[in-house]
Amino acid sequence: MHVSVVIPVYNDLERLLMCLEALDRQSLRRDSYEVIVVDNGSDDAQVPTELVSRFPFVKLYSESEPGAYAARNRGLLMAKGDLIAFTDADCVPEPDWLENAVGHFARNPNCAVLAGDIHVVRGTKRRAVEIYEEAVAFNPESLLEKQGYGVTANLFATREVFERVGHFDAGFKSGGDLEWGQRVKALGFEQLFGAKVLVKHPAMSSVAQLYGKSRRLAGGKYHLIVGVQERWFARQVAFLKMSLRDLVALPLALAFHLTLDRRVRGFENRLKYAGVAVWVRGVALSENVRLHLGKPAFRG
């Protein structure tokens, strides 16, 4: 089984280097996989070329349409493998990542999609943003079980799945893996979780990073709930319902995080977490209004 690893990148070249170094250390035989990096309009187009040139097993392509899902679709078109793997430029796969994934598919011949595990790695200073990130970190097993999809930070799928289901919806800037996973589930493909198919993901440590992530996630949710509505009136109703829900949730979320939420221990840490969580919801509300006024989706 030959594997094609697809990695979209946009202005994240320092962490892409760590990702490629990790892929260079894979225990799977080198002739059993290829790595495809798709640059999605990084500010300095020459830099990805120079970086990728250090790794002979990596192929570099570019995608001008903004958005990671558009970049992933470009990688899919270039991929030659029977099995397509996705990770992000800021993820660091474990040395046995690919070997364990291939073994999983060999042991489960009916498996079409594999959601790997993601461990969030935080710093030692316990900043408020890191406390929040650790608490709300990806839980791929739960997402697969409850919502029927795997996140593209660590996702494997057979070529047949994409031939039957189609590619990602490039209109999404975030949340496209959920929409694609729903299509996979609707067609009855078997999706499994692989605890030993592991990548590590650094926790965000700055307000600026979390601000950007919050806007992207809000954009994905807006597109999924409001943007898909074809009629003007239906869009207005969907937007109002979503906004009212979010407004009501703000004080309830604050009370919950301070008193009942057990993901964070200690009153000081819980206070930091609650403050960041409410701020994130406020950012999302603001982004939803901006998008509803016709502004372009954020991708930074």
Residue type (1 letter), 173: K
The whole-angstrom separation of Cα 251 and Cα 99 is 47
The whole-angstrom separation of Cα 176 and Cα 35 is 22
Please give the structure tokens belonging to residue 134. 């650790």
Which range among 44-58, 70-84, 219-233, 278-292 shows the weakest confidence by mean pLDDT? 44-58
First to last CA, the chain: 36
Which range among 62-71, 87-96, 214-223 shows the weakest confidence by mean pLDDT? 214-223
For residues 284 and 122, which has the higher predicted lDDT (pLDDT)?
284
The whole-angstrom separation of Cα 22 and Cα 69 is 23
Q: Compute how many other C-beta atoms are within 10 angstroms of the C-beta atom of residue 170.
A: 18
pLDDT at 80: 95
In the structure, what pLDDT confidence band is assigned to residue 227 with cuts at 50, 70 and 90?
confident
pLDDT digits (tens, 9 = 90+) for 76-108: 999 999 999 999 999 999 999 999 999 999 999
Q: What percent of the chain has pLDDT over 90?
A: 47
pLDDT at 165: 95
pLDDT at 53: 84
The whole-angstrom separation of Cα 187 and Cα 157 is 14
23-30: average pLDDT: 96
Cα–Cα distances (Å) from 188 to 75, 98, 116, 140, 272, in that order, read 25, 25, 20, 19, 42
Give me the helices (H) in 79-206, please.
97-107, 128-135, 140-147, 159-165, 176-186
pLDDT digits (tens, 9 = 90+) for 145-164: 988 899 999 999 999 999 99
pLDDT at 205: 66
190-218: average pLDDT: 85
pLDDT digits (tens, 9 = 90+) for 30-60: 999 999 999 988 887 666 778 888 898 999 9
243 and 288 Cβ atoms separated by less than 8 Å: yes
H helix or E strand, kind and range, residue 251: helix 232-259
Please give the structure tokens belonging to residue 31. 């002739």
pLDDT digits (tens, 9 = 90+) for 228-258: 788 989 989 999 998 888 888 777 777 776 7
Does residue 299 register a pLDDT over 70? no
Query: DSSP letter at 295?
Result: P
So where are the chain's domains?
Answer: 3-202, 207-292
- CATH code of the region 3-202: 3.90.550.10
User: Tokens 């408020």, residue?
Assistant: 128
The whole-angstrom separation of Cα 176 and Cα 188 is 19
Average pLDDT, the chain: 87
Which pTM was predicted?
A: 0.79
